Amino acid sequence: MDQSLRLAALASAAVPGLDPIAVQQVFLGEEEHFDVAFIQDSQQRRWVIRAPRSEVDAARMDASLAMLGLLVRRVPFAVPAAKGFAPIPGIGRASVHSYIPGEPIDLAALHPGHPLTAELGRVIAMIHNIDRALYDEAGLPAYDAESYRKRHLAEIDRGAATGRVPAGLLARWEEALDDVRLWRFAPTPVHGALHGGNVLVTFPDRADTTKATIRGVIGWESAKIADPADDFAALVASTRAEVVDSVFHAYAQVRVERPDPHLLARARLASELELLGQLMRAVSNRDDVVTEALTARLRRLDDTVHDERLAKRLRIVPATPVSEYAPPPAPREVQGGGQAGGDPLGGEQVGTEQSADKPTAGERAHDDPDDDLATSEITPAQLGFEDDEHSGGAGDPDGADPDEAPGPGGSREPADQPDSHGDATDVIDVIEHDVIEHEGSGETGSEHEGSGDAGSDESHDDERHDHESADDESPEHERAEPQEHGDAEPPGEDGSEGDGSEQDGSKSR
């Protein structure tokens, strides 16, 4: 039987009253974990069916769906809660959920003042505020800070055994994992693969992107109780530092618990380890072409993070103790939608990365004819730049469903291809270009005016002024003593500074 017809038959068996009249299969590679198809029934409803390819994949899907069934009425955004199941002999069962309208968000197109930027921070906070009892009840994995640190160490050891990871990167990662300051966090319910392809936005007005809102979050197969930094890895791999700061500020305002001061530093580490995860999957799949490409990217990342012009901005381990982040305001109910204001996107597109749970352009539809929120398509041409200039963010290192996303027009870029999702090497060209551009004037500390990177021009000017004043007023032997505050960094700098500048990917600056 044709695979698409098989999936349609499974969908019909899973949901009473679902009479398929059209089916569109998403063609995925052999290394993927699910078969996916979009179904339209005789009532013009749209559905998504996902059929796991192995017992392990089925178990992971069932655990996440058990949690989503409990979560669906507890969050203000849509999640892919199953409407029915159909058995797959020898494997498990396929699941069917209502199609969630929307466009994958392009993290790289976000601006600090755009309403979606703050809304993204609030959505991440709402995920992290989920009662962990829901995750425990669903049987999702749970890790404390120490066990999660050891998992990362084991991953690095496996990577080192391949002989393809530069020694400098191994030392960098081990240094970060050995610094106890970084690994003091409260285990938190996380999404686990929160790249742009799994965050769906709707545009009620094509002409005004400031009216866009986050409609749904999909791709929960990697959900677990672990490090909250995991859900920021794709963000720091895709956006500039000031965008990360804006998202993090909105996040802190809604978060029930105070964000730890090193969250963004660990997010940078997670984004770099994503590249290692891609390499390990390519080696496991014996894909020599992808393995060589990822090996080259790791070498490039090693060269960049050890470039003395960029080292401070790309640092993971803080050079000095970091003050705790200021306590956020008392928890408050999050308002849906964004803030009022102009269009900071300047005509850029907000949604470009295609997800495996989303049909191709031109085939968007409502999951329910009674849904009163229209789904609007925005093409790259309409928003002023080429579609291939931006893609989604870092994928799940464990090979979750977000890596199964088809490309534009239904084509698919394999998850193990080096450009499938953003990672720690994607913004290198942007950083190096900025450094070269500013070297003539001695400006290498920030990518552009108003950047949120460490060592803003204003703060450095103040420090230089203080230093020069001290030189004028102090005896010669006193001037010889270095000022202790000269090398200190602003509170929270190492997390937000480093984590926003190195990545580009989807999530390219």
- CA angle in degrees (0–180, nearest 5) for 474-477-482: 80
CA–CA distance, 60 with 54 (Å, rounded to integer): 10
Token code pair at residue 204? 């009620």
C-alpha 416, offset from chain centre? 16
pTM over 0.85: no
CA–CA distance, 364 with 375 (Å, rounded to integer): 7
Helix axes 428-439, 288-305, angle to 10 degrees: 30
CA–CA distance, 393 with 159 (Å, rounded to integer): 22
How far CA 155 is from CA of 15, 16, 278, in Å, comes to 41, 44, 12
Q: What is the pLDDT of residue 33?
A: 82
103-429+492-501, which class in CATH? alpha beta
Sheet with 199-202: list strands edge to edge. Answer: 103-104, 199-202, 213-217
CA–CA distance, 447 with 462 (Å, rounded to integer): 20
Alpha-helical runs (H) found in 15-103:
55-71
Task: Enumerate residue ranges in the chain where pLDDT < 50.
Answer: 321-354, 360-421, 425, 427-465, 467-509
Q: Which CATH number fits domain 3-98: 2.40.50.140, 3.40.50.970, 2.60.40.10, 3.30.200.20?
A: 3.30.200.20
Is the Cβ–Cβ distance between 471 and 464 less than 8 Å? no
Question: Domain segments of the chain: what residues?
Answer: 3-98, 103-429+492-501
CA–CA distance, 152 with 173 (Å, rounded to integer): 9
Q: What is the pLDDT of residue 477?
A: 41
Is the Cβ–Cβ distance between 292 and 162 less than 8 Å? no
Token code pair at residue 82? 């199953």
391 by Cβ neighbours in 10 Å (0-12 / 13-18 / 19+) ranks as buried
pLDDT digits (tens, 9 = 90+) for 435-472: 444 444 444 333 333 333 433 444 444 444 454 444 44
Which runs of E-coded beta strand occur in 60-154? Answer: 82-88, 92-98, 103-104
The residue among 401, 389, 393, 427 whose CA lies nearest residue 107 is 393
Hey, do 3-98 and 103-429+492-501 end up sharing a CATH topology, with the first three levels equal? no
Q: What is the pLDDT of residue 320?
A: 60
